[in-house]
Structure 1
Amino acid sequence: MSVFRKNIVPLIVITAVVAAVLTYFYRPEYFDFIIQPSARSIYERSLEKTPGQLDQWKKLTTLAKQDSVNINESFSENIITSTRSPFSAGYMVDIAQGESLLATVKTDTINSSWILEAYSLNGDLLQTAVATDSLMTILIRERESSTIRLVVQSFLELTDTTLLKIYKQPILEFPLAGKGNDAIQSFWGVARDGGRRSHEGNDIFADRGHPVVAAADGRISSVRDRGLGGKQIWLRDELTASSHYYAHLDSQLVTSGQRVSRGDTIGLVGNTGNARTTPPHLHFGLYRTGGAVDPKPYIWKIPIPADSEILPIDSRVIGSGSGANLRNQPDANGGLLRSIQNDRLTILGNAKDWYHLRTADSLAGFAHKSVIKLIE
C-alpha cells in the first residue's frame, strides 16, 4: 500500500500541474486574480482571435507613445470616439519637485472602455488608471522633477463622448488655514540683509493669531524660540522626505515628538524673531537632504480646469489659410510643429478653441479653430 502511495502522489502532482498549464493556455482569465494583469493586457487578450484588430490596436498604441504634445497648464479636452475612428493620443507633462499630477477620463458609460496610463520617458509603465464607475483617475506624486507621458486610448468598438482633464496640484496643504496664493508676498531667492543672504522660503501674510496648519502628516521634530525665526516649529514629513520650517509664530500649539495630521492647527501667526518690524506673517521653509528647496511648488494652488465646450467635428477636415499651423500646445505661443495648410486632418478632440489633430502621416498637435475647415 505504501508503494502505491509513493507512486500515486507524484502522478497527482504532475496531473495537477499539466491541468493548470492547459487551463492557463486556454482560459488565462481564470488566473487573473493571481496575476492581476493590466487593463491593456486583458483587452489585448480579447483581440487575439481577431489578429487584424489586434494589429490595429497596437499601431494606435505606438502612435500615442510617439506623440509629443506638451501639457504644462491645466488642460481639458473633449473627445468623441467612434468605431470608425478610435481615439489614441499621448501627452507629455512636466512635473516640478513638489507637484502631483492628476489625469481623469470621464465617460458616458459606467463600464469603462478606455485605457489611461502613465509612462516614464524611458518607456517604463508607472501607473494605470483606477476606474470608479464612469471615472478613471491617475495620481502621481513626484519627489523630484520629472516628465511623464500620459497615454489615452479607447477600445476599438466604442462610440463615446469623453472628457479628459490633466492638471497639477501641490503635494502639501497650504500652511495657513483658509488662505491661498495671494497671501504669499515674498518668495524664494529674494535678497536679504543687503544681499548678504537670500530668502530660503515663502513669507505668507495674515493677521496675528491666524491658524498655522500642518502641511502634511508627520511628527513635530522640534519646537524652539530663538534666533532669526523666533518662535518656530519643525515638522518631519515622510511623504516628501523633508522637514517643514514654520517661523515667526506668535504661539506654538504642539510639543516636540507629537504626531500631527495634515490640516491640524499647530501654531498661530506672529512676527517674532527678526520679523519684529514687519507685519505678522508665517515664514514657511522646506529642507531636504542637501539644504533648503523652494517650497512654492509644494503649496501653490493650481485651478482645476473647467470643462471645454465641444467644437463642431467632422470626418473631413483641412488646414485653411497661410496661418494654419500645428503646435505642440493649445496656445498661440506653443511650439510650431509645421504648417498644415491644405493638409487632410483627423480631429481627435478639442481643448477650448483649439482642435487636437492628427495629420495623414501621424503627427499630432493643436490648431486654432479659425484655421480649420470642416467639409460636409
Structure 2
Amino acid sequence: MKKLSIIIVFLASLILFSCKSGPFNLIKPATPHQAYERKLKTAGLDQTIMGAKWINNAQQSLQKALAITLPYQEKGYFSAEKIEAVAYRFQLNRGQKLQVKLDRKPINGFMIYFDLWEPDGANYKLLAAADTLGSELQLDAEKTGTYILRLQPELLGSGSYTIVATTGPSLAFPLKSATRNSIKSLWGVGRDNDTRKHEGIDIFAPFRT
C-alpha cells in the first residue's frame, strides 16, 4: 500500500513536470506514447515493478498481437488494477486506406495511447500514432503486408473503450458522374496477343469532363 502511494505521488508529479518548461521539453517525442514512457523514466518509475511492467508490456503486446480481419469492432475495459496493453494484427493491401476510431469513457482522466506498427524482421517499425486527443488514426497503405495496431492506457487508468477499424480505397473515383461502363480495360488484361499484361485501368469520359 505504501509503495502504491509513492507511485501515485510520482504520477502526479509527472503531470506537473510536463506542464513546465525545461531540458525535458527541448526534445520533442515522436508520439504521445513515447512522451509518456520518457516521463516514467525521467521520474525513475521504470525502476519500479509497475513502471517496468508497463514498458515491457508495450513491446510484448506487439509480439503477441491478436489476428483479426477488417472491418473489426471491439469493446473492452482497462482496469487500474492491471497493467495491460492489447494489439491487433491484420493485413492491408497496397492502396487501401485504414481508418481507426477509438471511443473511450470517461474522456477526462483516462488516456489510451494507440499507434500503428509494421513488422520489420525481428523488430517493429512505427508507422503512425494518434494525437493527444487519442480518437482517430488513418494510414494509406504503401504496400501489401501485415500491420499491428496497439492500445495501451496510462498507469492507474480505468475505463471502457470501443475500437472500430475499417478500410477503403485511398483514392476516390476520378470521375464525378460515372458508371461501370466508364471502365473499358482492367488491370491484368492481355495485350498484344497475350504477350504482355496491361498494368493499369483505362477510364473513359467525354472531352474536358
- Residue equivalent to 1:359: none
Question: 2: distance between equivalents of 1:103 and 1:31?
Answer: 34
- Residue equivalent to 2:89: 92
Q: 8 Å contact 1:100–1:168 — kept in the other structure?
A: yes
Q: 8 Å contact 1:91–1:151 — kept in the other structure?
A: yes
Query: TM-score normalized by structure 1?
Result: 0.41
Deviation (angstroms), 1:42: 3.5
Deviation (angstroms), 1:196: 5.8
Aligned alpha-carbon RMSD (Å): 3.2
- Partner SS for 1:63: helix
Q: Tell me which amino acid in the other structure corresponds to 1:66.
A: Q
- Partner SS for 1:163: strand
Q: 8 Å contact 1:94–1:145 — kept in the other structure?
A: yes
More deviation, 75-84/85-94: 85-94
Cα distance change on mapping 1:60 and 1:141 into 2, 3 Å: same
- Residue equivalent to 2:61: 64
Q: Tell me which amino acid in the other structure corresponds to 1:95.
A: L
Question: 1: distance between equivalents of 2:96 and 2:63?
Answer: 25
Q: 8 Å contact 2:54–2:84 — kept in the other structure?
A: no
Deviation digits for residues 262-291 of structure 1, max 9, x if unmatched? Answer: xxxxx2xxxxxxxxxxxxxxxxxxxxxxxx
- Partner SS for 1:166: strand
1:192-271 alignment runs, 5 A limit: 195=194, 198-202=197-201, 247-252=203-208, 267=209
Question: 2: distance between equivalents of 1:68 and 1:53?
Answer: 21
Cα distance change on mapping 1:168 and 1:156 into 2, 3 Å: same
Tell me which of the two structures has the higher relative contact order, counting C-alpha pairs closer than 8 angstroms and 6 or more residues apart. Answer: 2
Cα distance change on mapping 1:77 and 1:181 into 2, 3 Å: farther
> Please, which runs of 5 or more residues in structure 2 have no aligned partner?
1-16
Deviation (angstroms), 1:180: 8.3
Please point out which of 36, 39, 42 is paired with 2:35: 42
Q: Tell me which amino acid in the other structure corresponds to 1:97.
A: R
1:32-181 alignment runs, 5 A limit: 32-37=24-29, 38-44=31-37, 45-46=39-40, 48-49=44-45, 51-111=48-108, 112-122=110-120, 123-132=124-133, 135-177=134-176
Q: 8 Å contact 1:174–1:180 — kept in the other structure?
A: no
Corresponding residue pairs, total: 182
> Please, which runs of 5 or more residues in structure 1 have no aligned partner?
1-26, 203-245, 253-266, 268-376
- Residue equivalent to 2:14: none
Cα distance change on mapping 1:187 and 1:130 into 2, 3 Å: same
Deviation (angstroms), 1:33: 4.3
Q: Tell me which amino acid in the other structure corresponds to 1:173.
A: A
Deviation (angstroms), 1:172: 0.7
Query: TM-score normalized by structure 2?
Result: 0.69
Question: 2: distance between equivalents of 1:171 and 1:152?
Answer: 24
Question: 1: distance between equivalents of 2:184 and 2:153?
Answer: 45
- Partner SS for 2:52: helix
Q: Tell me which amino acid in the other structure corresponds to 2:101.
A: T
Q: Tell me which amino acid in the other structure corresponds to 1:82.
A: S
Q: 8 Å contact 1:95–1:147 — kept in the other structure?
A: yes
Question: 1: distance between equivalents of 2:113 and 2:103?
Answer: 12
Deviation (angstroms), 1:60: 1.9
Higher gyration radius (CA): 1
- Residue equivalent to 1:298: none
Cα distance change on mapping 1:57 and 1:188 into 2, 3 Å: same
Q: Tell me which amino acid in the other structure corresponds to 1:35.
A: I
Cα distance change on mapping 1:181 and 1:149 into 2, 3 Å: farther
Among all aligned residue pairs of Structure 1 and Structure 2, give the percentage whose two residues are the same amino acid.
20
Deviation (angstroms), 1:54: 0.4
